[in-house]
Each structure stands twice: as C-alpha cells, then as structure tokens.
Structure 1
Amino acid sequence: MSKGEHDNENDNSAASAAGTSTAGPSGGTPSGNAPSRAETRLRRRGLPRSGVIGGILSAVALVAAGGGLVSAASLAPLSPASQHLEAPLASVPAGSSVGVCPGPARLLEGTPVGTDPQFSPKSATAKTAVSAAVLGSSAGVIPGSRLAPLKGAALVEIAKGAPAASATAAPATAAPVARTPVLLAGIVARQEVDDISVLRSDAQDNRQAAAGAVLSYVADDGDLQGSAAAGCQQPGNDLWLVGANTALGRSAVLSLTNASSTPATVSLDLFGSQGLIQAPGSRGLLVAPGSTRSIILAGLAPGQERLGVRVRSAGGPVAAVIQQSVLRGLTPGGVDFITPSTAPSDRQVVTGLDVQDPAGVAALTAKPGYADAGPALEIAVPGAADAVVEVKLYGRDGQKALPGGGVVTAKAGAVTEVSLAGVAAGTYTVAASSDISFTAAVRLTRGLRPEGASDVAYSAASARLGSQHIVPVPGGGNRQLVFGAPDGAATVSYAPITADGKIRTAATAKLTGGTTVSVPIPAEVGGSPLVGYVVSAAGDSAYGALLLGRDGRQDISTVAVAPEAAGARQVPVTLGY
C-alpha cells in the first residue's frame, strides 16, 4: 500500500469512527458545508476537518465551563482569606526626650558673612544658665535624665532612672498594695553654661518623659546688653522661624544643632519683605552628628527688615534658633533668641505680648532708626496666594480694637508686619486667622528713651495647652505666667515645682472666653525656691507663655510653653514586595 493510500485509509477510518462521511457527492467536502479559512489552514497542516470541528467544540465547552466558574465564584460568598484587610498598626516605643538649649549670646567678630563666623569673648557681666525639670512617675521614680554638652561628660546627672526589674516574679496570690502617688521632680536650678547643652530624659512606661528646660542670658554691658531666653527645643526636620532682621545695625545669626547620631543635610527657604529670596549657599548645608553650624543671615539675605526662615533637614533632625540683636549707632537696642513657631496653618495664636505706654512708643518709633522699637505681629505666608488675615487682640477685660482695623493682606511668599502701636498698655494674646496657611510671631520691646539702652523679645506662635507641660522658670527678676483663651472658657492649673524636688498644690486660673490672665511668680513656695511649674488646661483652647523682666532695667524676654510629652504611638504598616 502506498503512502497516499495509507493516509486515505486512516482518514476514512477516523471519519467512520466519528460517524461522518469524508466526501460529498463530488468527492470534496460534505454537501452544504464549505471549508472555512481556519479549516483550510489546518487541513493543509495535515489535520482533517473532523479534528478541526472536535477542537472547536472542545474550546467552546472549556470557555462555557470557565464562564460558569466565574459566575459561580461571583455568586459564592467570599472566604475569609479573600476579604479586604485594613493595614495593621504597629506600636512604636516612646523614645527619649531631647531638648537642645542654645549657647550664650555672642558678638560677631570681623566681616559678618559666611557660614563659620567668629565670635568675640562674652562680656564681663554676661551670665548664661539653664533651668530644667523632669517629672517623676506616680511611684516617685524620676526617669534617667541628665544635662550635658553636645559632646562630653554630663554637667548635671539629674537621675539615674528606675532600677532593673527583679528576676524573681512576685507570687500570683500577692495582694495589690495601695500606693499614694508621690509627686516629685528632678530639677536643675540655674546651671551656668558656656556652650550649647542638651537635656536628655529616658522614656518611662512607654511614654516620653515630661521634661523641659529654659536657657536665660543677661548682660549689663556691651553691645549685647539686655536679656534673652529660649525654651530648649525638641529637634525636627521642618522648622519655621519668623521675625529676623538683617538691616543696618541688626545682626541675625542662625544656629543649626544636630544632637543625633545621623548626619543632617539642611536647606533654607528665605522669605523677605518682598517675596522669596534665592540665595546661593542656602542649600545642602551639612551638619555633622553632635555639632553646630552657624549661618550669618545677612550673608544670604542682606538688608531685610523682615525675614522668615524655613529650615528643612534631610537625615538627622536639627534644632534651630536665631540670635537677633540691635545696635542703633552706639546705643544697644537689645538681644533675644528667635525660636520656631508652629507650622503654617489657617490660625495662629501668640500670647505673652507686653505693650508699653502707646504715647511713648509712638514718640520713639517716629525717630530715624527706631521704626522697629515698637510691638508688631510678623506674618509669613509660604504659599503662592496672598492671605487676608484677621487679627484680634485679647486683654484682661476682653477683646481690644486694633488701630488699623485688624484686617490685613499678607503677600504670598513674604513676611508682612502688622504694627501694634497705639494699643493700650497691658498684656495680651494675639489670635490671627485666614483661609490661607501662614505662620507668625510677635515682636515686643521695652524702653522708651532713645538715649538709653532698650531691649527686644520675640514670642512665637504656639500650640494650645494640654496636660503636664513642664515650665522651668529662671531665677530672679519680674516673672509672670501669661495664659490666653481666645475662643471660650478655659481652666488652667499650675502646680509649683520647688528646689527640693517637690510638686506643690496646684492653683487654678479660670479664663472667660476672649481674655488674657497674668499670674505673678513668687520667689519661693513653702520655704523653698520656686524653679518651675506643671501646667495643664481643660475646656476650650488655652495658650501660655512665660514673661520675664529684670528689676530696675529695661529688659524683657518671653518663652512660649513647650508642647506636652508624647505618649506611645501606632503607625500603619504597609505590606508589599
């Protein structure tokens, strides 16, 4: 049998088995069924038409079966394994509390340019000290804490912390022991420092330690005579400082401190009176771990009567502070530290504004070179749109009218000044709001005689009060706690901390909405020198600041109440690959 005959026999056998005929009347395809293009191609490859039809039917059956499976799956209830799951939350242990205190105010030497300035020795009468307090637990255990320079041995070992837990567990049947809370604090009472220092406190019960520190500077002679104070700040990666001045006779030095073990690369955004300032040398500033870098802002933005600085750090967090001083000819005009304000938002509140006699302020600021010798609100708008800001002033007896009406348009990308001249003498809280995010600070001054020394201070916008804020108080002088409630009624309690480490019975200030209350600070409580307060608030939003003066001198400084300690946090965890 030839190969062709063998093939035909196989085809016919296959056709017979399938119950079909291999040829029509003309010997071609079956009658009435012309071959399709697909059949023709497959038959050319040696596949008979019956195989083609069988394959097509099988494919249709599989598709139908698959559709049935999909339909059934869509109708069947979801199994637990296929349900949508929310991203899990992971608990993050509370870290140590770190407060970076600036160094003493120092006068620049030589040409005021560059990022590594030289400073002259401090004056003969200048004194710089740090006051600090660390709150103990209800069991009377003070967290491990110390005040130390950036590098080197501790200046003050406040507490070594709780002893290690015993390896022997207590019997399960032991009855709980009733324990009266022991209210104690570890304190640092006016520790003199000659450089930047850091207050470190260990976490306790998975919560950051309630701790705080304040640096105070005083000098009776030299170009930097006056007083300055600053809260020791928790480092961050995005900070805003408002109120600097680089005009003639004004000196502004920005200090960046990296107290972490990670290098920090810092970039500065500069906001002047007319808009953003593009300054070479303001990007990629490296601050090594355990070091400080100082930048003379006049070298980046000269001749700016109003200047705001945004500090952004990639890598380690940094602390930022501006040493601002004024010299009008040969007459010292004051010195202070500008510390970070709260991040931009549509509402900012500043308390601790102290205003002198308006007639005296008007006469002084009218003289050449004294335009910045009066109180003012500085507003920085970082966005691309102008902000229409409404400013309200609250005193002891309620809201006070502003001479200009209280509504101002603040230019986008710039710093706008709102004069507070003409306001009656007293202590106030400033509340500003807008539909555009902004940040703010207040400048306050002391001294009305042009031939005499005067002083300047800056109060940054701060967050509302919560619970257990630690407010250290420098010793001596005229000291006040200032609380403001711009919206509704609030109750603020303040418990004195004395030098013997005891926390005394708290007093209470009840604030009606739209008022400001000043509380004089005594020299001692219960026979022991007062060194600080534990401040808590309830009710509507309340804000606080420490206002400091010196008897017999035109000195003034202010410190906003620092945020409360952070508790345990939870962060969402994203699963993926």
Structure 2
Amino acid sequence: MSPSRPWLTPVSRVLAVAVVAGAGVVGADRIGAAPEATSAPDGASSAATTLTTSYCPGDPFAGEAEDSPAVDVTGAIDAMAAPGEVLDGVVSPSDDPGRITVEALSRASATDPKDSSESGPTQVSRDELGAESVRVRGTGERAPGLVATESFTASGEDVQGLAALPCAAPTADAWLVAGGGDRGRQERLVLTNPGGNAVSARVEAVGADGGGDAKDRSVVVPAGGRSTVLLDSLGGTEAPQAVHVTTTGGLVAPVIVDQHLDGLTPAGVDVVGPTAQPGTRLVLPGNANGSDRGLVIAAPGDRDAVVQVRRLSEDAARSAEVVTVPAGEVFDVDLETSDGMRSWVVESDEPVVAASWTRVEGTQGRSDMAWSVATPAIGRLAGVALPSASADDARTFVEVTAADAPAEVEVLVSRDGEVSTEEVSLDEARSKALPVGRADAVWVRPVSGRVHSAALVLSAPGAQEAQAASLPLLPSRVAVRDVPVVQAR
C-alpha cells in the first residue's frame, strides 16, 4: 500500500490473494515468483476463493501456425473441482452455487451466469481441440482447488505421441526449457492472450548462436487469440531451447511444442509449460527411466555456473553429475538410465533454469518423450487432472519428493467419484512414487514439511505405441484472505 495514502484507518481491510502459485492465479505476473504458499499475517482470516481461471492452448498444430505440420490431434480438456475430502482442513468452500465452464476463448463469456440456484457438475470435459485456446473457469463452490488438464494423442507422418499439460494462469514473465539439437527436432512457442487487448511479448533465447536469425523477437499476440513462434529461428537447431518470455500491456499463457522426427520415423511430441524462475536450487520431480533420459540446464546470467545434479528416489540421495554451464549457454546433461522414478535437485553457484526429459519406446520401434519442469514447493494443496487421452493400459504414477527435510503428506486420488487417501512419510532427500491407475485427478496435501510433486504417465511394458507425459502438481488456488491494513506513519 502506498505511503502517500495516510487516510486509511487501521480498521480498513483489503482483499488479497492467499495462494498464488497455481493455475488460475489472479494478479500473479511471474511463474515461480511465489515458490510456496505463505501463511496469513497476524489478524488475517481466510475465505474460500469463488473464482479460479486457467488457460490451455488447444490444438497447437491447428490454424495457420508458422511451418505447422499436418497432424491429426485427438484429445480433450478435463476439469474437476476439488471434492470436500480434498479441501477438508484447507478451506471451507463457499455456499454460493458454482459452475465449471470449459470454453474456447472467442466464446468465453466475460461474466458468469447467476441464474442458477444449484451448482453444476463437479467434472466437465471438452472433447474437441481446435485452433483456439480454451478458458477453464470455476465459480462459487466449484472454484477452490479446481484442476484442469489438456491431453491429446497426435498422429501423422511427422508427429506421433501423447502430450499433456495442466491448464495454467497467464503471466508476464516466464521461462521455458525444451527441445534438443537432434536432426529432425523442432520447437515452436505458442502464446495465448486471454485479455481484451493485444499484448506485446518479447521472446529471448539463451545461447542463441546455433544458426538462429536473432537472439530475441517481439511478437504481438491478438486479444483473445494466440501467436506462434518457430524457435529454430531464434535459438537455432544445434541445442535445446531455453527461452524467456516477458510481456507489456497484458499477460500470456506460454507453452513450447516439442516434436522429433528421427529420419522418417516420428519420435515423440510434448507440450511443455513454464519451469521455475532462475535459481540456485531447483527441484524437478516426475522423471522416469526409459530408453534415454537427460537434463537441460541454461545459465542466463553473465557468469559461468558450476552445477551439481543430485538424484532423489526411495534410496539414499547421491550425486549424478557436476558440470560447468558457460554464461549465456544451454547445456544438455546425459543421465543414468537406472530403473524407477527420480527427482533431480539442481544446485548451482549462479542462477540457472532447467527441465528434464525421458524417452520411452514401443514395440513398433517408435518412441515418445516427456518433459518434467522445476516446480515450486507445495504450500497448502496442489493437484492435477490426469490425462484422459492416454491409452487404457497406460501406467500412471504420482511422485512426492521431500528435498529439504522430512515431510508427511496426504495423497488424495479421485476415481469414479470416490476419493481415496494415502498417507506418505518421507525422509529428507527422498521421494516416493505411488501408482494410481486410471484415476481422474490427484491432490497432494502436506501435513508437515515441504514437498514437490508430479504425475507421470507411461505406456505399459510391451505396448505397441509408446506414450509418455509428465505433469507438475502446482500449488492450488484455494482461498483469499482478508488482510488488515496498518495506517501509514
């Protein structure tokens, strides 16, 4: 509050966002700006949020995107309100009737209808993906802890595989890491503008010396629309992509579409959301063994970064790699292919950004890939809707990681309208992977300590078609708080 307004009395109050690092954040302008939920100030009280909004890109290959390949995309956007069992002890939902809407941006209403005295369904799906981005909104009692995920399978001569990502809040400052220097690799950035005015976005590539035309580009994203940038024209084709997106005049929801063609054989696709802001300690959950896996680290500053990568699993933590990432460069680290799920802790003497990847193969010789991003620690609650586009026999796991200290959490799994709860105790620097089968959604509710979490979908052993997707569990928007304002002196 500005000190130039001393007329505010000590009893004046202002409504502020309480949990700000998840999908549907109102007023947040930085992905990763709030690494964990903060406790309410003394004298503040919390009330359940009655509005949660997030955005998904739709079919990233549809429309008139730059050099877009011909791809048949089949998928859906699935949204689910948090059941009462999930919110128990976190927040008491509003008594106001609520609805979940999943609408293309051009048809999304500016205001929500108030003519119903009863709440709508707790689950809503949109089984059609097109060239428009999609808005997911929960109101009233359907808003707290709402989760939504876009998932699709792609088939075509150049692109095949499973892709999935949580619908996200827009931002003015995001970092994204994906792609590779393999021949046949292509990455495109898709920017969604949910606002009513055009937004100017600046896209800067780290290590842009691999044949790209320029290190940065300005893009105007139309109101209620989306724009696409072929990243090979910025970062070149010889290394993975690490890009910084900043905006003026509004917010955008950015994703990278990563596709790989190995010779004439499609070798996977993924749609990757923002990773954590540059930091000296990053935690990346949700990476599993496959035919190959690795970690991409970028040092965006003007000094080299000495980086240690540690592996966390159910066994004792151990160092995996120590590397030096040159200033302003992107470094691809090969990781061991031992069995099981892993979290990676990246510790550096200079701020870095990072994402990890895994590749799986099917019996037909084709492969798919999944990217795992660095996540914030979970505060009161985090969740994710699980992909509906995955194969019926695909395996789904939820990994929970205690990187800093021992922790206890509750993992709540929604399946066919029923919620099951599993209590998990973690030692320091350990993680645990829980199989959840064909569940609809999962939430993680910390009891003590700080944890990070991600869901991972993998094709069954011996499956003909390879499938892989990793989805971060991001802190959920559950409450607003009534904060007392102190008179300026």
- Would you say same fold, with TM above 0.5? yes
Q: Which amino acid aligns with 1:480?
A: F
SS of residue in 1 equivalent to 2:352 = strand
Counterpart Cα distance in 1 of 2:345 and 2:130 = 37
Deviation string 1:334-383 (CA, Å, 9 cap, x unpaired) is: 11112100111111000111113xxxx5xxxxxxxxxxxx3111111121
Match of 2:448 in 1: 539
Which residue, 335, 338, 341 being the options, matches 1:424?
338
Listed one character per residue, the Cα deviations across residues 403-435 of structure 1 (whole Å, up to 9, x for unaligned) are xxx2211111111122103x4221111011123
The answer for the alignment partner of 1:494 in structure 2 is 411
CA distance in 1, matches of 2:332, 2:373: 14
Q: Go from structure 1 to structure 2 and tell me whether the alpha carbon gap of 1:118 and 1:381 turns closer, same or farther (over 3 Å shift).
A: closer
Shift of 1:247: 5.2
Q: What is the Cα deviation at residue 119 of structure 1?
A: 3.5
Does structure 1 retain, via aligned residues, the 8 Å contact 2:413–2:420?
A: yes
Written as runs of structure 1 = structure 2, the 5 A alignment for 1:511-530 is 511-523=426-438, 530=439
- Which structure 2 residues correspond to residues 497-508 of structure 1 after superposition, within 5 A? 497-500=414-417, 504-508=419-423
Residue in 1 aligned with 2:189? 254
Percentage identity across aligned positions? 25
Query: Could you tell me how far 1:148 is from its partner in structure 2?
Result: 0.5
Distance between the aligned counterparts of 2:409 and 2:449, measured in 1? 10
Distance 1:499 1:161, change over 3 A: farther
Match of 2:330 among 396, 415, 419: 415
DSSP 3-state at the match of 1:236: coil
Letter in 2 for 1:377: L
Q: Give matches, 1:48-87, under 5 Å.
A: none
Deviation per residue, 1:166-187 (Å, 9 max, x gap): xxxxxxxxxxxxxxxx9x9721
> 1:240 offset after TM fit, Å?
0.1
Alignment of 1:28-43 (within 5 A): none
Give the corresponding residue for 2:78: 131
User: Contact conserved, 2:311 with 2:317, CA < 8 A, in 1?
Assistant: yes
- What do the CA deviations read for 1:105-157 (whole angstroms, capped 9, x no partner)? 53899xxxxxx52535433xx41111211236546756343110111268xx9
2:299 corresponds to which residue? 381
- Select the residue among 14, 19, 26 that pairs with 1:91: 14
Residues 506-560 of structure 1: per-residue CA shift (max 9 Å, x gap):
221222222221111133xxxxxx4112321132221111101233132111111
Question: 2:137 maps to which residue?
Answer: 200
| Cα 1:425–1:190 shift into 2, 3 Å | farther
Contact conserved, 2:151 with 2:163, CA < 8 A, in 1? yes
> Structure 1: how far apart are the matches of 2:359 and 2:347?
24
**Equivalent pair of 1:472/1:531 in contact (CA under 8 Å):** yes
2:476 to 536, 540, 564: 564
Seen in structure 2, the aligned counterparts of structure 1 residues 575 and 245 have a Cα distance that, compared at 3 Å, is farther
The answer as to whether partners of 2:298 and 2:331 remain within 8 angstroms in 1 is yes
Change (3 A) 1:428 1:190: farther
1:161-172 pair list within 5 angstroms: none
Q: Distance in 1 between matches of 2:349 and 2:9?
A: 34
Structure with the bigger RCO (C-alpha within 8 Å, sep 6+) is 2
Establish whether residue 346 from structure 1 lines up as the match of residue 274 from structure 2: no
Q: Which amino acid aligns with 1:91?
A: V
Q: Mark the CA change 1:335 to 1:107 in structure 2 (over 3 Å): closer, same or farther.
A: farther
Higher strand share: 2
Task: Give the match for residue 267 of structure 1.
Answer: 202
Deviations 1:232-263 (A, max 9, x none): 11110000001233653111111010012232
Gaps of 5+ in 2: 1-5, 18-25, 27-50, 84-91
Residues 326 and 546 of structure 1: is their aligned pair in 2 closer, same or farther, counting only changes over 3 Å?
same
TM (norm. structure 1) is 0.67
Matched, 1:460 2:383: no
Query: Which ranges in structure 1 are unaligned for 5 or more consecutive residues?
Result: 1-83, 110-115, 165-181, 362-373, 524-529
Cross-structure match for 2:268 = 334
Number of the residue aligned with 2:21? none
| SS state at 2:59 partner | coil
From 458, 461, 465, the equivalent of 1:549 is 458
Match of 1:149 in 2: 104
1:103 counterpart residue number:
58
Q: Is the 8 A contact 1:498 1:531 kept in 2?
A: yes
Cα pair 1:143 1:162 within 8 Å, conserved: no
The answer to whether the Cα contact below 8 Å between 2:69 and 2:158 also exists between their aligned partners in 1 is: no
Higher percent of residues as helix: 1
Distance 2:359 2:471 in 1: 14
- Which residue number corresponds to residue 38 of structure 1? none
Q: d(CA) in 1 for partners of 2:325 and 2:484?
A: 37
RMSD of the TM alignment (CA)?
A: 3.5
Greater C-alpha Rg: 1
Matched, 1:471 2:388: no
- Alignment deviations for residues 22-67 of structure 1 (CA, whole Å, 9 cap, x no partner): xxxxxxxxxxxxxxxxxxxxxxxxxxxxxxxxxxxxxxxxxxxxxx
